Amino acid sequence: MIIVHPLLGPRDSAEFTYLGDASLIDRPDWQSETAASEFYEYQYLRENPAGLHRELWFHEAGDRSWLVVTRDTTTHEITTVEMARDVARARGRSK
């Protein structure tokens, strides 16, 4: 698979390591009343869709940036690649 890095252009997916569903960006609030069950869901449960999947890839053998890649899990076709920090900031995270 070729991942078109927003800064570096097309890169071989072998340069990356994979973390999983991009929902991992949305870390629950540890001070919430229901933190224990929210962290359980955050940590262990997954949508695991057959089709479009937004997922976190780390450019380990490159610029060490985190990317959010939108990929079809039934064909491996990649449609969008974003910088994870942009995605996180757009969702209200500080970094």
Looking at the Cβ atoms of 50 and 90, the one nearer to other proteins is 50
Q: In the bound complex, what is the minimum distance in angstroms from residue 20's beta carbon to other proteins?
A: 7
Which residue bears the tokens 């340069």? 15
Instruction: Determine the Cα–Cα distance for residues 62 and 41; give it in Å rounded to an integer.
Output: 32
Candidates 45, 61, 77; CA nearest to 69 is 77
Binding interface with other proteins (CB under 8 A): 1, 12-14, 17-18, 20-21, 37, 40-41, 43-50, 53, 55, 71, 73-76
Q: Dihedral, CA atoms, 31, 95, 45, 32, nearest 10 degrees?
A: 10
Looking at the Cβ atoms of 74 and 89, the one nearer to other proteins is 74
Looking at the Cβ atoms of 14 and 90, the one nearer to other proteins is 14
